[in-house]
Amino acid sequence: MAGPAAVIGYAKGETVLLSHSLLRALVASFLFGVAAAAGAQDSYPNKPIRFIVPYAAGGATDILARDLGRKLTEAWGQPVIVDNRAGAGGMLGAELAAKAPADGYTICMIITAHAINMSMTTDLRIDTAKDFAPIALYALSQNVLVVNPKVPANSVKELIALAKANPGKLNFSSSGNGTTPQLSGELFKMMAGVQMQHVPYKGAAPAMADVLAGHIEMMFDAVTTALPHIQAGKVRPLAVTGSKRSPQLPDVPTIAEAGLPGYEIWGWLGVVAPAATPKEVVVKLNHEIVRILQTEFMQERLASQSLQGVGGTPEYFGDFIKKEIAKWQKIVRDSGAKID
């Protein structure tokens, strides 16, 4: 004879009764599902991971992604395959990543440009804040303000005074419209209340070449690429753009220290996945990436490119992306900067 029935819910106002045997079957099924989910997390990854880099092979972003990919492969025994998908200022590869299956087997390296593009690109097909699951903020970089040695300014304050005495006559070069070097200069102009002309180039090398030749007075360049010229005495560093000094240029103040309190510009790289990627997979990826960032190998590798490893939680990186989008949006709007 069957035992007492169990009450588990209602249908059209009537109590629905199930036998204990059926109830036990339902509970077992639920527990099996929980165990299966836990097992899936424990077994991840069990096949190769595709690591999309939205830039060409051989660049700084690609090199760092390949370093990380090798270390993830060593840790998990599954190949992490870098897939370079350059084009549209990094948006082509990012769109491909955002629309990939959200199963943890596609990740992507995004950079500062993916926050800037939200304000400077009219044909947006993805939203950097909404279409990705943030995994980890990988590293920070900063620019350095350098001038040709013939420019009669040995500090930020002297440069501002020179610019105010010669409105519109000083030029600064950059690696192109919509880049952090250009927008570093635009923010400088606004905060200092000076008029300077921006001259965009197709890359940092030709932009620096004209500063070295004296055709352009100054530029904001990545510490890594400017450092050899600084060490050779071919350009004079006045300040770095971050909120703290660069380990490679410890005697060079920040722009905030040098006369413009509140000025702060960082470049950054971070790892993301498609937005619906399971939380447990995101957490597992985050923990492993943070561990790798703390290794001596990776710290030395980042320092060699004037980068500072960060790490942190997925939530921290998600908040960081939102703040970056808002910051660049204001700089672009207030400066009137345009890609074309």
pLDDT, tens digit, for every residue of 155-185? Answer: 999 999 999 999 999 999 999 998 999 999 9
From CA 312, how far away is CA 303, in angstroms rounded?
18
At 38 the pLDDT is: 46
From CA 133, how far away is CA 226, in angstroms rounded?
34
The domain 143-258 is placed in CATH, from the list 3.40.190.10, 3.40.50.300, 3.40.50.360, 3.30.460.10, at 3.40.190.10
Evaluate whether 48 touches 81 at the Cβ level (below 8 Å).
Answer: yes
- Sort residue 143 into left (φ over 0), alpha (ψ -120 to 50) or beta: beta
Mean per-residue pLDDT pooled into runs of 10, the chain (340 residues) = 34 41 46 44 89 93 95 97 93 96 98 92 87 97 97 98 97 93 96 96 94 98 94 98 94 97 96 98 98 95 91 97 96 83
From CA 239, how far away is CA 242, in angstroms rounded?
9
At 29 the pLDDT is: 46
Alpha helix stretches (DSSP H) within the chain: 20-43, 60-76, 91-98, 113-120, 156-165, 180-192, 204-212, 223-231, 255-258, 279-293, 296-303, 314-335
Q: What is the CATH number of domain 49-141+269-335?
A: 3.40.190.150
At 24 the pLDDT is: 53
pLDDT, tens digit, for every residue of 296-320? Answer: 999 999 998 889 999 999 999 999 9
At 294 the pLDDT is: 96
Q: Where in the chain is the domain with CATH 3.40.190.10?
A: 143-258
pTM of the model: 0.83
Our CA angle for 191, 114, 276, nearest 5°, is: 135
Q: Where in the chain is the domain with CATH 3.40.190.150?
A: 49-141+269-335
